[in-house]
Structure 1
């Protein structure tokens, strides 16, 4: 029986334009590479959002917590929790009664996060969840009491428009009018800065993209020769979309043992691996309304590069 990854690869490589989901970037090696990306000089989103949470964390915490009673703070894609710790500290300092439920698909990343939180924030109640977003959203419906949901790091931009709207509607479904969402949005800006953030001079982003092929070799018995694949990315200002690709540098065949199938690639044929959309504040408000949400408050860094937006279900 095929696992989820194998089924996804079988479907994705049979498409007219081959495509694989960025959710499969994050095996243990991919998670480590992304930690490196966040520290790169070109990669502004992490620094911008960190500045928001560092300088406005108390105000954000006040917007996120319910008027009374305990609540669950569930974070989708928690990673190393570097930025989230700023908000957690603000909530603890404000004597908020809550449990933190970080969600991440990487077991090693979760182990590291839980250990770090135990050392740095021993008073924090942590209920870790190793799962993908879909599983976490299903579990969210069963959690009693008030809820606050975090989706930081501009991850919302990885969804194409239709999937993004569907995802937000799924997020909104288990929430009451008193519950809150905090979502990070990377804002539109100089197109050159955006493109550089996804094609850094050191080649770490290229290694991150190519690691997906290494994962397929290891887990599915594929024989991708990374010497004949390249990373490519570009930014389209009209749509606000960064699109990343793996490019076949020659005509070649790749056999995937788990599928018992061989795939043909023409020279310079691409596998589409990631979208990263950038937004305007007007687009964010429109998207929220379409999903049955309303904008409660917008927090931005000084340069206006990034926005953390507090959302609630419409009454």
Structure 2
């Protein structure tokens, strides 16, 4: 097991740098028109817990559908990988709790005697948990967690290991980008990967609009709490004075474009102070754009792969046709 340790001084510097970037991004986002916040900041400790609960709620189908694919087709998936890569390491972008990837890792463990798993996540809590828990669940697994931005950490893995990589980008996380940004991200991903590396990437497929909208507006209010939690985090870490009760969670879905978007709507005219650095004015009914969850058709997936410089070599779909994990070759 590989572990990451930080000296007190180094850890303090990282925290300071993180706070500065967080502050800069929040002020820039809330000063723009329309106002926005970056969805990557959803995932503090409370945000992680809320998202785990969202994945278990009845309306949120993507997790169940992708889990079905991974559990029932994992041998076929890894078999397809081995056709191109007889030896490889596994890198996961946005590893989360690894509840899905652990099934693929088990299959790889049964097949390859020597590989390393590199989970990448922007949540330090997640990385610490994985490095402790996964070697207990999969004895002999070598794990080297990396905390940071996807592409920067992926580049680090190419320096840590000269093997080809199977890169996992599951959970429909590509949907966190709008269509244009997704193309740019996939192009950068292709440039960061070595020639011959494989990418297993998950897509939430277009389907009945109400099914999609319900998934982002669950009856328990977990998605609402997940969005509102970012205001609590800004209050706590940036000494802001948001009153979360003065904002309403509002999701939308456009079936023509496949864009599912979440907003927080200001219920009255108000001012919010971000520490001593900025004061933000909200008009009544003014919105903060929080996140997008982009949905794709099979044709759009193929087009994205080719545009970004990948060659599609496999597609694995759940029984209901709601979700697809696609294997692309760089």
Shorter-chain TM-score: which interval? over 0.9
**Match of residue 231 from structure 1:** 249
Distance 2:115 2:157 in 1: 15
- Which of the numbers 73, 77, 83 marks the counterpart of 1:60? 77
8 Å CA contact 1:66–1:178 kept in 2: the answer is no
8 Å CA contact 1:66–1:179 kept in 2: the answer is no
Distance 2:34 2:113 in 1: 49
TM-score, normalised by the number of residues in structure 1:
0.95
1:205 Cα deviation (Å)? Answer: 0.5
Aligned residues: 312
8 Å CA contact 1:248–1:267 kept in 2: the answer is yes
2:295 is the counterpart of 1:273 = no
1:283 Cα deviation (Å)? Answer: 0.3
Structure 1 residues 68-116: Cα deviation after superposition (integer angstroms, max 9, x where no partner) = 6542210010010000011011111223531100011111122222222
Over aligned residue pairs, what C-alpha RMSD do you find? Answer: 1.5
Please give the residue correspondences for 1:132-147 in structure 2 after superposition, counting only pairs within 5 Å.
132-142=149-159, 143-147=161-165
**Match of residue 108 from structure 2:** 91
8 Å CA contact 2:74–2:104 kept in 1: the answer is yes
Please give the residue correspondences for 1:40-59 in structure 2 after superposition, counting only pairs within 5 Å.
40-59=57-76
**Match of residue 155 from structure 1:** 173
1:67 Cα deviation (Å)? Answer: 4.9
Please give the residue correspondences for 1:134-283 in structure 2 after superposition, counting only pairs within 5 Å.
134-142=151-159, 143-257=161-275, 260-283=277-300
8 Å CA contact 1:70–1:96 kept in 2: the answer is no
**Match of residue 43 from structure 2:** 26
Name which of structure 1's ranges 37-46 and 144-153 shifts more when overlaid on structure 2.
144-153
1:135 Cα deviation (Å)? Answer: 2.4
**Match of residue 105 from structure 1:** 122
Name which of structure 1's ranges 94-103 and 240-249 shifts more when overlaid on structure 2.
94-103
2:87 is the counterpart of 1:81 = no
1:140 Cα deviation (Å)? Answer: 3.9
Distance 1:130 1:140 in 2: 12
Distance 1:68 1:196 in 2: 40
Could you say if the C-alpha distance between residues 63 and 270 of structure 1 is closer, same or farther in structure 2, counting changes exceeding 3 Å?
same
More helix by share: 2
1:28 Cα deviation (Å)? Answer: 1.1
Name which of structure 1's ranges 187-196 and 8-17 shifts more when overlaid on structure 2.
8-17
**Gaps (5+ residues) in structure 2?**
1-16
**Match of residue 312 from structure 2:** 295
